[in-house]
């Protein structure tokens, strides 16, 4: 079975275990991927492992019932649609920043590949952000997008969706990296957002083949592309056990900058950002701090004045009930029982409101009761 370079790369891309590290070793051993076909089985096994060599032999012999031909036909149909592209590491338009960090063999792109060559900032954070977190993410994304940065994130619920929307709202471009095939948008609630990203000059990107469903193990690989495409990664809100911290760690491994928004020491969704800052991430409270730190080569990007650093705790109460609890607390520490005696709430409702306010950093629980934070 004769394979073009592109088809061979597609076949190699489907070999389990042939990740960026093995691919780099393969490139170092062979002047060109096509030479892999000419090697003996023993040499193929040395480079790909026994299971990889067997799969390659099966595909070349066309044993598994036109396995590769079927996938190539499906991919060809997808590529025939407007704004659909396949970019390999051997193509000129493969993103240079991603090439520097051993990116995937190939990328499926829906939208404008040119967007991948523009200066990008990744913005990531909690799937369940606070009101202040949403406002901060929106402000940073808007200002940076207006200044000429492409905003890159993962199309997830929460901060990801906020920053994609914010970039589009100001007429900027945004890139969404998926942990599934591009023929199945996840989450489904973001299909309209994905369509808008493509329609307005941005791009959807995935290393995963068409038909691949989102799985937990895919998201660290997705996060590696998010940070690899970007000059730096900004974490807005994140718990200590968060996918956003994985993205930040990957950015550091790729020798890229990591920025973090500080938050209340009493807020669970700020623990990750505060930890990153302790570990050496750049503390930022204004988009201009990011451009100042990145420095050289970005003089053509002019940010408009912003008040992102003025986002404050008065944004946090998101309901009249929350405001009533804060009013009852005033400046005094009050036990739960004393709050109940006001007759304003039932037990379950008061527990819920206090928990929400504590997570937002508006209230602290002590042995003597609840206290409103300044």
Domain boundary assignment for the chain: 5-80, 97-104+107-309, 316-372
Phi, psi at 244, each rounded to 5°: -65, -35
| CA proximity to 309, closest of 281, 328, 290 | 290
- And the tokens for 149? 């940065």
CA distances from 314 to 134, 135, 284, 351, 361 (A): 13, 12, 20, 21, 11
Taking a C-beta distance cutoff of 8 angstroms, is the pair 211, 188 a contact? no
Nearest CA to 180 among 210, 224, 225? 210
Specify burial of residue 13 (Cβ count, 10 A radius: 0-12, 13-18, 19+).
middle
CATH of domain 97-104+107-309: 3.40.50.450
pLDDT, residue 318, reads 45
Integer Cα distance of 362 and 131 in angstroms: 12
**278 close to 307: Cβ distance less than 8 angstroms:** no
CA distance 361 to 104: 40
Which helix (H) or strand (E) segment is 111 a member of?
strand 106-111
d(CA 68, CA 263): 50
Do 310 and 285 touch, CB atoms closer than 8 A? no
Q: How far apart are CA 330 and CA 54, in angstroms?
A: 71
CB burial of 28-53 (b: ≥16 within 10 Å; e: otherwise) equals eeeeebeebeebeeeebbebbbeebb
What pLDDT, on the 0 to 100 scale, is given for residue 229? Answer: 98
Closest alpha carbon to 154 in 81, 94, 214: 214
pLDDT for residue 263: 85
Please indicate whether the domains covering 97-104+107-309 and 316-372 agree at the CATH topology level: no
Strands 84-88 and 106-111: antiparallel
Its pTM stands at 0.78
Other Cβ atoms within 10 Å of 257 Cβ, number = 18
Regions of the chain short of the pLDDT cut 50? 63-64, 312-318
CATH number for the region 5-80 comes to: 1.10.150
pLDDT value, residue 298: 64
Count, residues in the chain: 374
Q: Residue 216: which region, alpha, beta or left (left: phi > 0; alpha: psi -120 to 50)?
A: alpha
pLDDT single digits (tens) 25-68: 777 777 777 787 778 888 888 887 887 788 777 766 764 456 67
> Among candidates 123, 124, 121, which has minimal Cα distance to 244?
124
Does residue 249 contact residue 275 with C-beta atoms inside 8 Å? Answer: no
CB 74 within 8 A of CB 211: yes
C-alpha–C-alpha distance, residues 34 and 261, integer Å: 47
Pair of tokens at residue 57:
């032999």
Q: Which CATH class is domain 316-372?
A: mainly alpha
Q: How far apart are CA 358 and CA 333, in angstroms?
A: 14
Give the pLDDT confidence score for residue 3 in this predicted structure.
67
């Amino acid at each position: 079975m004769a394979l073009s370079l592109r088809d061979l790369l597609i076949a190699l891309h489907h070999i389990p275990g042939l990740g960026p590290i093995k691919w780099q070793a393969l490139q170092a051993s062979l002047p060109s991927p096509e030479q892999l076909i000419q090697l003996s089985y023993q040499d193929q096994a040395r480079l790909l492992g026994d299971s990889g060599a067997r799969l390659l032999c099966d595909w070349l012999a066309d044993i598994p019932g036109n396995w590769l031909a079927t996938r190539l036909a499906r991919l060809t149909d997808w590529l025939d649609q407007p704004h659909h592209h396949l970019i390999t590491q051997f193509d000129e338009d493969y993103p240079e920043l991603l090439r520097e960090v051993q990116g995937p063999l190939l990328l499926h792109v829906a939208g404008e590949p040119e967007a991948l060559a523009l200066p990008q900032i990744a913005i990531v954070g909690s799937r369940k952000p606070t009101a202040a977190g949403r406002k901060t993410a929106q402000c940073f994304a808007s200002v940076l997008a207006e200044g000429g940065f492409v905003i890159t994130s993962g199309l997830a619920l929460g901060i990801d969706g906020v920053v994609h929307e914010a970039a589009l709202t100001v007429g900027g471009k945004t890139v969404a990296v998926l942990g599934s095939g591009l023929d199945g948008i996840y989450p489904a609630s973001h299909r309209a957002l994905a369509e808008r990203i493509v329609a307005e000059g941005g791009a959807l990107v995935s290393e995963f083949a068409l038909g691949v469903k989102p799985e937990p193990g895919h998201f660290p690989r997705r996060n590696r592309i998010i940070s690899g495409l970007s000059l730096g990664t900004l974490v807005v809100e994140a718990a200590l056990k968060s996918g956003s911290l994985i993205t930040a760690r990957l950015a550091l491994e790729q020798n890229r900058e990591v920025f973090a928004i500080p938050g209340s020491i009493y807020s669970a969704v700020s623990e990750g950002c505060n930890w990153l800052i302790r570990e050496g991430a750049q503390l930022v409270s204004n988009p201009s701090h990011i451009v100042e730190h990145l420095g050289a080569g970005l003089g053509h990007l002019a940010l408009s004045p912003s008040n992102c650093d003025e986002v404050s705790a008065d944004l946090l109460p998101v309901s009249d009930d929350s405001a009533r609890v804060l009013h009852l607390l005033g400046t005094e520490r009050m036990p739960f029982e004393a709050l109940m005696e006001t007759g304003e709430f039932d037990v379950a409702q008061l527990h819920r409101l206090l928990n929400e306010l504590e997570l937002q950093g508006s209230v602290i629980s002590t042995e003597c009761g609840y206290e409103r934070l300044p």
